[in-house]
Amino acid sequence: MRVIAGALALTVALSAAAGAQSNEDKYKKKLEKEFVSKVEWVTSLEKAQEAAAAQNKLIFGYFTRSYSP
Protein backbone atom coordinates (compact mmCIF):
# COMPACT_ATOMS: atom_id res chain seq x y z
CA MET A 1 0.00 0.00 0.00
CA ARG A 2 2.82 2.36 0.97
CA VAL A 3 4.60 1.53 -2.27
CA ILE A 4 1.48 2.45 -4.29
CA ALA A 5 1.00 5.71 -2.37
CA GLY A 6 4.67 6.56 -2.82
CA ALA A 7 4.51 5.81 -6.53
CA LEU A 8 1.38 7.92 -6.84
CA ALA A 9 3.00 10.85 -5.02
CA LEU A 10 6.05 10.56 -7.23
CA THR A 11 3.87 10.50 -10.35
CA VAL A 12 2.02 13.63 -9.20
CA ALA A 13 5.29 15.38 -8.38
CA LEU A 14 6.81 14.45 -11.74
CA SER A 15 3.67 15.55 -13.58
CA ALA A 16 3.76 18.90 -11.79
CA ALA A 17 7.43 19.32 -12.63
CA ALA A 18 6.76 18.35 -16.24
CA GLY A 19 3.86 20.84 -16.32
CA ALA A 20 6.05 23.68 -14.99
CA GLN A 21 8.77 22.80 -17.46
CA SER A 22 6.22 22.68 -20.17
CA ASN A 23 4.94 26.15 -19.36
CA GLU A 24 8.50 27.49 -19.49
CA ASP A 25 8.98 25.87 -22.88
CA LYS A 26 5.73 27.33 -24.09
CA TYR A 27 6.80 30.76 -22.88
CA LYS A 28 10.13 30.48 -24.71
CA LYS A 29 8.31 29.39 -27.86
CA LYS A 30 5.97 32.35 -27.54
CA LEU A 31 8.92 34.73 -27.40
CA GLU A 32 10.28 33.15 -30.57
CA LYS A 33 7.12 33.98 -32.51
CA GLU A 34 7.52 36.32 -35.45
CA PHE A 35 5.17 38.99 -34.06
CA VAL A 36 7.52 39.50 -31.10
CA SER A 37 10.50 40.36 -33.29
CA LYS A 38 8.48 42.67 -35.57
CA VAL A 39 8.28 45.41 -32.92
CA GLU A 40 10.48 46.59 -30.05
CA TRP A 41 8.16 45.47 -27.29
CA VAL A 42 8.74 46.58 -23.72
CA THR A 43 7.99 43.68 -21.36
CA SER A 44 7.93 45.60 -18.07
CA LEU A 45 4.95 47.84 -17.43
CA GLU A 46 7.05 50.06 -15.17
CA LYS A 47 9.56 50.66 -17.97
CA ALA A 48 6.72 51.21 -20.44
CA GLN A 49 5.28 53.87 -18.12
CA GLU A 50 8.66 55.58 -17.83
CA ALA A 51 9.04 55.59 -21.62
CA ALA A 52 5.48 56.87 -22.08
CA ALA A 53 6.11 59.74 -19.68
CA ALA A 54 9.46 60.62 -21.26
CA GLN A 55 8.20 60.48 -24.86
CA ASN A 56 4.68 61.80 -24.17
CA LYS A 57 3.11 58.76 -25.80
CA LEU A 58 0.37 56.31 -24.93
CA ILE A 59 1.20 52.73 -24.04
CA PHE A 60 -0.30 50.05 -26.25
CA GLY A 61 -0.68 46.98 -24.05
CA TYR A 62 -0.95 43.61 -25.72
CA PHE A 63 -1.97 40.98 -23.17
CA THR A 64 -1.59 37.42 -24.31
CA ARG A 65 -0.76 34.01 -22.82
CA SER A 66 1.78 31.30 -23.49
CA TYR A 67 0.44 28.40 -21.38
CA SER A 68 -2.35 27.70 -23.82
CA PRO A 69 -2.77 28.31 -27.55
Partner 1 sequence: MEGGPLLEQWWTEASKTVIPYLNITARFEGPPDQDLLKVKGGRGFPYCTLMDAKGEVIWEVRPSGKDAFAKGVKGATALAKYQAALAKDPENKALKANVGILDFMGRSQREKGSTVADLEELAKAEGVDAEILKEFSSIKKSEQIMGALRNQRRDGGKALLDLARKGVAPDDDDDMATQFWVTVTQAAVNAKDKALATKAVDKFVASAKGKPFEERAAEFGADLKKKIAAIPDDDKAKDDDKAKDGDKAKDGDK
Q: Which is nearer to partner 1, 7 or 41 (CB)?
A: 41
Q: Which of residues 2-61 bind partner 1 (CB under 8 A)?
A: 20, 23-24, 26-27, 30-31, 33-36, 38-45, 48-49, 51-53, 55, 57-61
Conformation bin of residue 56: beta by default, left when phi > 0, alpha when psi is -120 to 50: left
**Which of 62, 64, 66 minimizes the C-alpha distance to 27?**
66
Minimum Å distance from CB 12 to partner 1?
A: 17
**Which of 41, 48, 38 minimizes the C-alpha distance to 64?**
41
Q: Which is nearer to partner 1, 3 or 68 (CB)?
A: 68
The amino acid at 65: R
Q: Which is nearer to partner 1, 4 or 63 (CB)?
A: 63
